Amino acid sequence: SAVISQKPSRDICQRGTSLTIQCQVDSQVTMMFWYRQQPGQSLTLIATANQGSEATYESGFVIDKFPISRPNLTFSTLTVSNMSPEDSSIYLCSVDLGTQYNEQFFGPGTRLTVL
């Protein structure tokens, strides 16, 4: 398994501002992912964070709104830009360790509330 931490654990922000969420892993991993979990909803994949290249975004998510950085194999950031109350969610990062089972391990999540 992997030890995954996220900062901040929670935040309350004003609309129109931006928040950057950090994800740190205790080992080098090739694949990192960012998910969103809106209140009462399931997890939805935002993007795959690729080291050394641009992130790959899922349908409905764009780089201008959710810019992602992946400077090395243990770290990634997700920025939620120009926030609105609809962005209030839990944001989670996950990693794929590349084992034979291809399972993903998840961080504790960042609970974001936009007023």
Partner 1 sequence: AQRVTQPEKLLSVFKGAPVELKCNYSYSGSPELFWYVQYSRQRLQLLLRHISRESIKGFTADLNKGETSFHLKKPFAQEEDSAMYYCALRAAGNKLTFGGGTRVLVKP
Q: Which is nearer to partner 1, 75 or 105 (CB)?
A: 105
Q: Considering the rule CB under 8 A, would residue 54 count as an interface residue with partner 1?
A: no
Taking the complex as a whole, how short is the minimal distance between the CB of residue 91 and partner 1, in angstroms? 13
Per DSSP, what are the bridge partners of residue 114?
A: 13
Residues 6 or more apart whose CB falls under 8 angstroms from that of 5 comprise 23, 24, 107, 108
Q: Which of 33, 39, 35, 44 is CA-nearest to residue 2?
A: 33
Q: Considering the rule CB under 8 A, would residue 44 count as an interface residue with partner 1?
A: yes
Q: Considering the rule CB under 8 A, would residue 41 count as an interface residue with partner 1?
A: yes
Q: Considering the rule CB under 8 A, would residue 79 count as an interface residue with partner 1?
A: no
